[in-house]
């Protein structure tokens, strides 16, 4: 039976034996503690290098009561709900900050809520992570509140008005949604608008819908406005349009709560022979990649997911260090005006879209 590669680990003891000191001395020498003389310190550091010493993360975590790890938590239901690209941006933001601090990043999804503790609660309470970034939680997820109340360092991405003690980073979805709806109305003269909302058990879904309503009401167009609840999946954009039946031509503008659904709308109208943006203007939310590559390209609200994640993670580190700071931070968003609303000329183009800060 060959050795299956159990590698004997190098410990402080090994270095200590080789140099002829105690493990305590080695520990101190490697931490540049002044009480170890320069000569001994150098000898120890040399030996450590030669033996390829790497401290045991478990022993350190146990002794220091810090895991040296943060968790990025995504409730699974939300993995469906928020597509891949959103999560990717968040991961990129969180992991780059974690890297800068030399801290490991644990990615935790939440396979079964039912069976006992939510997975992420276990992660936190086992002290596998010293803090967590929590994203895209549903409004009614009770475990989130428990986690916040537990006092463990957590920063949430999104808006959670009902969790006033939570530290959050988000964008003003309502204002952004109002702004993009305004754009379809004032810049493109659209008057019969359809909103395909996100799931209404997520604050994002609610806020984007309310922003849409604000805008149509402001312009006195609420009589002709229509709202259909979607789930952020491309298919729910398809379904929403199909549900219009013959009334497809009754609308001349669509504001979808994300780009995936907007793309579903685009495809479905295309097949039905409705011209975009000729007959109908379309706008979405996100700009995580999809919006730029479709034909026509999608006008959308660019959500700075990576930046939100960076800010959240930086704030998390501050909290873990006991530093005070903001409790709610709001990042601004931009309207990216491409072809689907009528701003940019149709056809394959390499022109940059107009960008409006809101």
Contacting residues toward its own copies, per CB under 8 A: 3-7, 9, 52, 54-59, 61-62, 67, 69, 84-85, 87-88, 91-92, 95, 99-100, 104-109, 111, 117, 119, 122-123, 125-128, 150-153, 263, 266-268, 270-271, 289-290, 293-295, 319, 322, 347-350
Confirm or reject binding of residue 12 to DNA (CB under 7 A): yes
Judge contact between 211 and 310, C-beta under 8 A: no
Would you count residue 64 as binding DNA (CB under 7 A)?
yes
Rounded Cα distance between 153 and 67, Å, is: 13
Q: Which of 44, 45, 53, 241 binds DNA (CB under 7 A)?
A: 53
**Residue from 56, 109, 191, 239 binding DNA (CB under 7 A):** 56
CB atoms within 10 A of CB 320: 16
Query: Is 22 among the residues that bind DNA (CB under 7 A)?
Result: yes
**Stretch of 54-62, 255-263, 277-285, 289-297 contacting DNA, by CB under 7 A:** 54-62
Task: Give the Cα separation of 257 and 265 in Å (integer).
Answer: 12
| 265 HSE (CA, 13 A, CB side) | 40
23 contacts which partner out of its own copies, DNA, none, CB within 5 to 8 A by kind? DNA
Q: Which segment (15-23, 246-254, 304-312, 317-325) binds DNA by CB under 7 A?
A: 15-23
Contact residue for DNA among 46, 49, 60, 80 (CB under 7 A): 60
- Asked if residue 150 binds DNA (CB under 7 A), the reply is no
Q: How far is the CB of 3 from its own copies (least distance, A)?
A: 7
The token pair that represents 342 in the structure block: 């009528």
Among 28, 67, 129, 167, binds DNA (CB under 7 A): 28
**183 and 337 in contact (C-beta within 8 Å)?**
yes
Query: Which among 313, 258, 248, 334 is positioned nearest to 92, based on CA atoms?
Result: 313
Q: Which helix (H) or strand (E) holds 264?
A: helix 259-271
Q: Does the protein bind DNA through residue 147 (CB under 7 A)?
A: no
| Per-residue DSSP letter, 112 | -
Binding partner selected for residue 28 from its own copies, DNA, none, CB under the kind-specific 5 to 8 Å limit: DNA
Quick one: what does residue 52 bind among DNA, its own copies, none, with the CB cut-off 5 to 8 Å set by partner type?
A: its own copies
Lookup result for tokens 């660019």: 302
DSSP-derived secondary structure letter, 277:
T
| Residue from 51, 62, 250, 355 in contact with DNA (CB under 7 A) | 62
Q: Is residue 125 a contact residue for DNA (CB under 7 A)?
A: no
Give the nearer residue to its own copies in terms of CB position, either 171 or 274: 274
Nearer Cβ to DNA (103/133): 103
Q: Does 167 bind DNA (CB under 7 A)?
A: no
CB 68 within 8 A of CB 60: yes
Q: Taking a C-beta distance cutoff of 8 angstroms, is the pair 195, 225 a contact?
A: yes
CA dist 311 to 94, 98, 133, 170, 287, Å?
Answer: 9, 12, 10, 10, 19
Burial of 231 from C-beta contacts in 10 A (0-12 / 13-18 / 19+): buried
């Amino acid at each position: 039976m060959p050795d299956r590669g159990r590698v004997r680990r190098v410990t402080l003891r090994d270095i200590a034996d080789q140099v002829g000191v105690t493990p305590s001395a080695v520990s101190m020498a490697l931490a540049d503690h002044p009480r170890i003389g320069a000569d001994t310190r150098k000898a120890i550091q040399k030996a450590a290098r030669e033996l390829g010493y790497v401290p045991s993360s478990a022993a350190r975590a146990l002794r220091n009561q810090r895991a040296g790890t943060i968790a990025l938590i995504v409730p699974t239901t939300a993995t469906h709900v928020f597509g891949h690209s959103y999560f990717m941006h968040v991961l990129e933001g969180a992991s780059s900050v974690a890297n800068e601090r030399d801290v490991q990043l644990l990615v935790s999804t939440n396979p079964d809520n039912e069976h006992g503790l939510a997975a992420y609660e276990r992660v936190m309470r086992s002290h596998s992570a010293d803090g967590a970034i929590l994203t895209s939680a549903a409004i009614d997820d009770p475990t989130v509140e428990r986690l916040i109340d537990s006092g463990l360092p957590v920063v949430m991405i999104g808006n959670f008005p009902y969790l006033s003690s939570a530290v959050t980073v988000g964008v003003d979805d309502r204002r952004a949604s109002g702004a993009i709806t305004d754009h379809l109305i004032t810049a493109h003269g659209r008057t019969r608008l359809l909103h395909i909302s996100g799931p209404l058990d997520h604050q994002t879904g609610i806020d984007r819908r309310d922003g849409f309503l604000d805008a149509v009401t402001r312009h006195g167009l609420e009589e002709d406005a229509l709202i259909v609840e979607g789930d952020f999946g491309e298919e729910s954009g398809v379904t929403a349009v199909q549900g219009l039946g013959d009334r497809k031509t009754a609308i001349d503008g669509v504001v979808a709560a994300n780009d995936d659904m907007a793309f579903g709308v685009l495809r479905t109208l295309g097949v039905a022979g409705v011209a975009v943006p000729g007959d109908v203007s379309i706008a979405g939310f996100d700009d995580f990649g999809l919006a730029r590559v479709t034909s026509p390209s999608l006008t959308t609200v660019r959500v700075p997911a990576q930046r939100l994640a960076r800010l959240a993670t930086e704030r998390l580190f501050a909290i873990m260090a006991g530093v005070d700071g903001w409790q709610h931070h709001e990042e601004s968003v931009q309207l990216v005006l491409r072809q689907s609303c009528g701003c940019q000329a149709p056809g394959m183009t390499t022109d940059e879209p107009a960008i409006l800060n809101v």
